[in-house]
Chains A and B, each alone.
Chain A
Amino acid sequence: MKIGGSSNESGETYAAVGNNDAFSLEIEGVSRSFGDRMILREVSLRIGRGELFGLLGPSGSGKTTLIKLITGIDAADEGRIAILGERVPSLPLLGRIGYMAQADALYGELTAKENLMFFGAMFGLGGSRLTERIGATLATVGLAQEAGKLVSRFSGGMKRRLSLAVALLHEPELLILDEPTVGIDPALRVSIWTSLLALRERGTTIVLTTHVMDEAERCDRIGLLREGSLTAVGHPDALKARTGAATIEEAFIRLGGDRA
């Protein structure tokens, strides 16, 4: 079966956890070293369409490296990665991925709207479609009132939200978020999660990294990364049951991901 045609078949593939012929993301035996330091070793993972997947692990466990390999910004030494059935790296594929890095990566001299206009153009959006998408994403992240404000005057939380808006702009089929809620106050975190869950409802696949355990609980599946290896993958409840732990935090520690 052809996976990832040009039309968005996400309606049918929603919540396709474990549905083997509808993968958004396939990672097979991926390794990456910097110098003689091995950051990732033989990581394999399959993420279904419409799945919300959380990547957990202590700092330095290789989460960000894995994220960069998935986007194609960095290249793996070994193994293969495919997104929506297409091999990474691929330029057209980048147009179907929304990526939000740990750094906010915005242009401080531009207004929120100008930032969105710029990145929109990078994704080939223009005219009324771009205007419409800018309005929609700014509303999603609650920045509609701040569209004309210079980003250099934004607070940290506002920048984080605008950064998310950039990732959502072109309605990507796969959303890759590196610590989307870090440095954001609890109320805002709730509103960002509401947006993420709404996107999943519409069939967007979401892969995110997090340090916050209650966020991990809300994922369809989580993967624990430790010293470059995936030590456990499964539904939060399944992982808790497997380790006999009451909380995901405890399960995380029992599975050996405790070194912060």
Chain B
Amino acid sequence: MRVRALTMRIFRQFMRDRRTLALLFVAPIFILTLVYFIFGGPGSAPKIGTAGLPDTIAGALRASSADIVPYDSAAAARSALDERKLDAVLAVTEGKPTLLLEGSDPSRSRAVLLAVSTMQRTSAATVFQPDIAYLHGKPGMSSFDAFGPVMIGFFSFFFVFLLAGVAFLRERTTGTMERLMATPIRRHEVVLGYLGGFGLFAILQSALVACFAIYALGMFMSGSIWLILLVNLLLTLTALTLGTLLSAFAGSEFQIIQFVPIVIVPQAFFSGLFPLDGMSAWLHKLTYLMPLYYGGEALRGVMIRGEGFGGIGVEVGALLGFSLLFAALNVIALKKQRAI
């Protein structure tokens, strides 16, 4: 009953704090949209210069939403590519088709490749197999689709961490924690009540952010939405328990903010937003201590590789473990508020 009352209280407080609700629900959507536009929304169709292309192929290419700019010779097209007027050049020289990608922007490259492969599928021209080369960069560079899933997890983690930390802290600074501790509530009931109250909003937020990214922004998604929600929920529970735990060591809202560069930023580095291949081995091992790494891996696995529950079992287990560990430490840390 106490847990339920605490859950209800947090729910009510939340519903009356519009600004916080906005931060929780609108801010991730806003930032995700920004990132989407910066790192390659569908935006404009890829610009492909062509030379010596059969009409049927050119038609099929145009149909697969590419902007076709015909050139008289492959050399003319090539110089336009050098001037960055084109995203790619598709030319047939001496009967051999070649696709040369500009390559400095992975999202543009992928758009070109997508257009070409769509063309191959839709036209009967499956025999039309161009050699693919890059002017700059190399194939397989990551972009929004690649780090989008990690960002979904990151936002849920970041905002829930911040809100839970501040809410728990405010309970201490306003004296309501002391008053709560002067009632027969048990320490674990406090932690469970917080999990309940914030968990409600964490579920809603994860669902909203994930659905917005997938259905509104069209983020690449090949797995189950329910698995995404599960991983995101576990990630936010970890953020919740970590936030309330660390707030025990903060004296003001400002000190909670100070945890951001210490706790959140390193996790962002290790979460898979940035390639870790070049990192020395001992440093690389730090990733195993980062909840966001597991969350990011699982989200990417489901969204990009279409993995099922079996494929992300380790990550789910790790997140669950983190939540339980932090919750237990929370119960112990509450001893600072009351001896028993």
- Chain A interface residues toward B at CB < 8 A: 71-75, 89-92, 94-95, 97, 99, 101-107, 109-110, 114, 117-119, 121-124, 126, 150, 166
- Chain B interface residues toward A at CB < 8 A: 1-2, 4-6, 8-9, 12-13, 16-17, 174-176, 178-186, 337-340
On whether the beta carbons of B184 and A91 are closer than 8 Å, the reply is: yes
Chain A nearest CB from B279 CB (Å) reads 43
Given the contacts A72-B338, A73-B337, A103 and B175 also touching, CB distance less than 8 Å: yes
On whether the beta carbons of A166 and B179 are closer than 8 Å, the reply is: yes
Q: Which residues of B are found within 8 Å of A74, using beta-carbon distances?
A: 339
Q: Which 5 pairs across A and B sit closest by C-beta, in order of nearness?
A: A103-B175, A121-B5, A105-B175, A122-B183, A75-B339
Q: Which residues of B are found within 8 Å of A104, using beta-carbon distances?
A: 175
Q: Which residues of B are found within 8 Å of A110, using beta-carbon distances?
A: 9, 12-13, 16
Complexed CA–CA distance, A62 and B178 (Å) = 18
On whether the beta carbons of B183 and A95 are closer than 8 Å, the reply is: yes
On whether the beta carbons of B338 and A101 are closer than 8 Å, the reply is: no
Given the contacts A94-B183, A95-B184, A109-B16, A114 and B9 also touching, CB distance less than 8 Å: yes
On whether the beta carbons of B182 and A99 are closer than 8 Å, the reply is: yes
On whether the beta carbons of B340 and A72 are closer than 8 Å, the reply is: yes
Complexed CA–CA distance, A123 and B180 (Å) = 10
On whether the beta carbons of A101 and B1 are closer than 8 Å, the reply is: no
Partner of B174, one of A90, A91, A105: A105
Q: Which residues of A are found within 8 Å of B2, using beta-carbon distances?
A: 121-122, 124
Q: Which residues of A are found within 8 Å of B8, using beta-carbon distances?
A: 118
On whether the beta carbons of A121 and B1 are closer than 8 Å, the reply is: yes
Complexed CA–CA distance, A97 and B176 (Å) = 16
Partner of B340, one of A89, A97, A114, A150: A89
Q: Which residues of A are found within 8 Å of B174, using beta-carbon distances?
A: 103, 105
Complexed CA–CA distance, A102 and B174 (Å) = 11
Q: Which residues of B are found within 8 Å of A103, using beta-carbon distances?
A: 174-175, 178
Query: Which of A71, A90, A121 has the most C-beta atoms of chain B within 10 angstroms of its own C-beta?
Result: A121
Partner of A122, one of B13, B175, B184, B340: B184
Complexed CA–CA distance, A75 and B176 (Å) = 19
On whether the beta carbons of B337 and A124 are closer than 8 Å, the reply is: no
Q: Which residues of B are found within 8 Å of A119, using beta-carbon distances?
A: 179, 183
Chain A residue nearest in CB terms to B177? A105
Query: Which of B5, B8, B9, B183 has the most C-beta atoms of chain A within 10 angstroms of its own C-beta?
Result: B183
Q: Which residues of B are found within 8 Å of A89, using beta-carbon distances?
A: 338-340
On whether the beta carbons of B13 and A109 are closer than 8 Å, the reply is: yes
On whether the beta carbons of A94 and B182 are closer than 8 Å, the reply is: yes
Chain A residue nearest in CB terms to B181? A73
Complexed CA–CA distance, A102 and B6 (Å) = 23
Given the contacts A91-B184, A101-B175, A124 and B1 also touching, CB distance less than 8 Å: yes
In the assembled complex, 21 residue pairs joining A and B whose CB atoms fall closer than 8 Å, in A order, are A73-B178, A73-B339, A75-B339, A91-B184, A92-B184, A94-B183, A95-B183, A95-B184, A101-B175, A104-B175, A105-B175, A107-B176, A110-B12, A110-B16, A114-B9, A121-B2, A122-B5, A122-B180, A122-B185, A123-B183, A126-B1
Q: Which residues of B are found within 8 Å of A117, using beta-carbon distances?
A: 5
